[in-house]
Amino acid sequence: MKKYKWGILTAGKMSAKFVKALNLLDNAELYAVASRDEAKAKHFADEYGFKKYFEGYEMLAADPEVDIIYIASPHSHHFEHTMLCLKNRKAVLCEKAFSLNSREVELMIEESHRQGTFLMEALWPPFQPIYRKTKDILNGNEAGRLIHLDARFGFQPPYDPNDRKFNLTLGGGSLLDIGIYPVNDVLYFMGVPDEVTARASFTESGAEHSISIIFGFKDGRMATVFSSFRAAAGIGCTLYCENGNITFSRARDMSQRLNVSINGKENVEYSLIPEGMGYQFEAAEVMKCLDEGRIESEFVPHSYSLDLMHTLDRIRQAAGIVFPGRNH
C-alpha cells in the first residue's frame, strides 16, 4: 500500500479538524504544513506531528516530497492557492466553496487537465453514509417520485465585519459558507434546477447574512433552501415524496440522523456519529483515485463542482450578491 505525504495549506481550525481525520488513515502521512505566520505553522506542526513547516505557501507547493495538498484558506484565495499547487503538479483537495465564481472553477479544472494532476472539491455530504442511504431509498422507488425538497443551514456567529464570514473581500456571507450545503442537497438529489429565485438580507459590511432560495424544475419538482448567520435554524433536509417523507439532519459535530416514513409505516431511524467527523472519507477518496491514476473523483467529479458553482452564481445574481472585482 502506497503511503501519501500530505501538505496542509493554512493552519486554522478547519485544517485541525481535517488533520485529526487524516490520522485515521494508514496510508496518509502528516508531512508538512504552511501558514503566512511562521510561528503559527510551527505550533501546528508541533501539535499534530508534522515533519516540516513553512512560512508562506510557495515552498509547500514546491516541495518534491509532497504528494497531496489540502487547501483550507478563505474562499477568496482558493483559486490562487489551487492554481499554485496544480502548477507544481501537486494533487489538490480544496475546501468548499471551490472558488468565488464559475469562471475561476473552469480555469482550475483546465489546469488540472493540463497538468494531468488530481483536483477535487472537499464537499462533505456525498461521502457520508446518511446521504448515500437517502439516495438508495430514493432509487429503490418505495418512496415514489420526489416532489419537493426543503433544506436549511443556520447558526448565529458573532458579527465582526473583519471576520471571513462577513468580509466581502474574503467571499463572506452565508451562501458560500453554509448555504452551499443545502444548495448541494438540491443538486445531489434532484439535479441542476431550471429556475432560480432568491432574496437576501445584508449586514453593514455588505455581506448577506440570510438568504432564501426557490428552485424550479421543468418537470414540476420544486425545492426551497434557507441559510442564515442570524437564525439558529440548524442543519437539515426533508424530501417530500409521493409515498412519504425522508428527513435527515446533523449537528455541528457532524452527528447524523435519518428518519423515514413511507406508506404509513412508522418512522425508521438511522443515526451515526462518524469518527473523525467524517472528513477521512474525502481524504481516502483522493488517495484511492491517485492509486488508480485518476485526476478526478466519480463521487465529486469536476462537472459536479462546476454545476454547483454555476448554480451559486445564478443565486448571487438573483439575490444581488456582489464580490467586488470577482463577480464573474
What DSSP line would sit under 207-253, residue for residue?
A: -EEEEEEEEE-TTS-EEEEEEESSS--EEEEEEEETTEEEEEEE-TT
Q: Terminal CA-to-CA distance of the chain, rounded, Å? A: 43
Helix (DSSP H) and strand (DSSP E) numbers for the chain? 10, 14
- 9: three-class secondary structure by DSSP: strand
Q: What domains are defined for the chain?
A: 4-124 (3.40.50.720), 127-278 (3.30.360.10)
> DSSP string covering 15-59, please?
HHHHHHHHTT-TTEEEEEEEESSHHHHHHHHHHHT-SEEEESSHH
What is the number of alpha carbons within 13 Å of residue 227 lying toward its C-beta?
22
Question: What predicted TM-score, i.e. pTM, was given to this entire model?
Answer: 0.96
Q: Apex CA 298: angle with CA 294 and CA 299, to 5°?
A: 130
194 DSSP 8-state letter: S
Q: The cell 434546477 sits on which residue? A: 193
DSSP letter (8 states) at residue 64: T
Q: Which residues contact 304 (CB under 8 A, 6 or more apart)?
A: 187
**Residue 247 · residue 237 · CB < 8 Å:** yes
User: Length of the chain, please?
Assistant: 328
Place of cell 445584508: 202
Low-confidence ranges of the chain (pLDDT < 50): none
Distance (Å, whole) CA 178 – CA 16: 19
**CA separation for the pair 328, 325 (Å, rounded):** 8
Three-state DSSP class for residue 131: helix
Per the listing, cell 468548499 goes with: 96
DSSP 100: S
